[in-house]
Every structure is written in C-alpha cells, then in structure tokens.
Amino acid sequence: MLAMLDDVTKVYGKSYGLRDLTLEVPTGQVIGLLGVNGSGKTTLLKLLSGLLLPTRGQVSVLGEPPRRVRSKLVFLGETDAIYRWMGPTDAGYLMSGLYPDFCPQRYRALLDSLQVPTRRAGAMSKGERVRLRLAMALAREAALYILDEPLGGIDLAARERILQSIVGQWRADASIILSTHAIAEAEGLFDRVVLLKQGSLVLDALAEDLRERGESVKSTFLEVLG
C-alpha cells in the first residue's frame, strides 16, 4: 500500500479536523477528495504530506511516517508561495538544485502545455502562477502527488489545460490525490472518489462503479451531502 491513514483523528483545540478516519491509498490511482469547506480535506492532505501530525492514529507513506519520506512526496497547497522575482527558467533552476528527481525535460513540456508565460511571477495573473507551480510540482518523479485545490479561482480554459496536463503526466507507478470543488470538470479524471463531511469519511467508492449505476460524481456528492 502506497499510503494509509489508520483510525486517524486530528483535533484543533476543541474542534475536530478529522475524526476516526481510515483510508488506504494504493499505487496507480487518481483519487478525487471532495467535501464542502471545513470538511477536513486540507487536514487530511497535510497529514499525508507530513505537514501535520495526527492527534491519534497512524499515518504512513511507503510504510514510513510521511516526514521520513518527504523526498517521495509532492504537496501543492493553496498558498501562493513563489518568489515574485522568479520566472519559469529561474524556478526550473531552483527545483533542479533542490530535488534530484526533478525532470527538466518534463518541466519544459509542462510549461508549454500549460501555456505558462515567460515573465516573472510578480507580473503573472493568479491563474498563471498556479500553472507555474503545477508545472514545478508535476515535473518531479514522486510516488504521491497531493494537490490541494489546484483549480480554485481560475478560469475554465485554464482548468482544462491543468486537467489535461495532470492526465498527460500521470504515471502508473504513482498516485494523485486531488482536492477540488470543480467536480464537473474534474470527475472524468478520477479512478476513485473519497467524500468527507465534518471530518468523517462518508463515501469511498470507485468512480467506475458510480458510472455503471448511471450516477455522476457530482450527483453522488450532492446526494450524500443532502
């Protein structure tokens, strides 16, 4: 098993981020992580990436605590964390120096497919910076790609380019966990759907099973959440 959360609870003060959650992540899946704001999606992703520690339970990636295998993980959060003076070429040099698994050829292909402009990040739009950060992330040869709302706040055309790039660069020896509110656009990408509500797991299903029953991921999402 690539990654696992075993009976995990995360408490923030007097409130629960996650409650008694168990989830297995095998190799070779694209998992859609869904839920309304505050459902625990970002908490789950940060636990898997080693940015948070569970209050109770165990989190493992490749059989180890996530902090021990961070070189095998890619976490793309919502924070717009990129130096404003940096252009795509500078970003590529930085990533090559930081990560031995960074592939410059793949990076250049992603910059092209995502239509990332050559100007510095400070002169880019939000959507352009998101696409640059995604190119930086997907150009690594990681085992697990954790993408937290990469489609948020950008236009439909940019969303389509991002989804096509995720599909184009996905490898069968890796897995992707994608958190998004853009369910209608992204659901064709999912092999599996995980739905959280108030910190608890309320649905874990293969997307193909939903389709065979004539249900879309979006309709299932709306039905489960009422």
Residue 91 lies in a domain: no
pLDDT digits (tens, 9 = 90+) for 159-191: 777 787 777 766 778 999 999 988 888 888 899
Q: Is residue 196 part of a domain?
A: yes
User: If you count DSSP H runs as helices and E runs as strands, how many of each does the chain have, helices first?
Assistant: 8, 9
Determine the longest span between alpha carbons in the chain, in angstroms.
50
Question: CB within 8 A of 197, min separation 6: which ones?
Answer: 35, 36, 39, 224, 225
Neighbours of 216 (CB within 10 A): 15
In a domain, 37, yes or no: yes
In a domain, 50, yes or no: yes
Q: Is residue 115 part of a domain?
A: no
Task: Tell whether 92 is covered by a domain.
Answer: no
- For 52-87, the pLDDT digits (tens) are 999 999 999 999 999 999 999 999 987 777 888 999
- Can you give the pLDDT at residue 153? 67
The pLDDT score that the predictor gives to residue 222 is 86
- DSSP 8-state assignment for residue 154: S
**Which tens digits make up the pLDDT trace of 129-153?**
988 999 999 999 999 999 998 877 6
Element (H, E) at 111: helix 104-113
| Closest-CA residue to 180 (of 221, 212, 136, 143) | 221
Q: State the residue range of the domain holding 68.
A: 3-84+143-220
Q: Do the domain assignments include residue 17?
A: yes
CA–CA dist 54, 172 (Å, integer): 29
pLDDT band at residue 226 using 50, 70 and 90 as cut-offs: low
Can you give the pTM of this predicted structure? 0.90
| Amino acid, single-letter form, for residue 136 | M
pLDDT in tens, 9-49: 999 999 999 999 999 999 999 999 999 999 999 999 999 99
Domain for residue 172, yes or no?
yes
The CATH number covering residue 150 comes to 3.40.50.300
The candidate with the shortest Cα–Cα distance to 122, out of 91, 97, 93, is 91
**pLDDT: which is higher, 216 or 170:** 216
Q: Per the structure, how many domains does the chain have?
A: 1
Asked if residue 89 has pLDDT above 90, the reply is: yes
The whole-angstrom distance between residue 144's C-alpha and the CA centroid of its chain comes to: 9
- The torsion angles phi and psi of 188, rounded to 5 degrees, stand at -70, -15
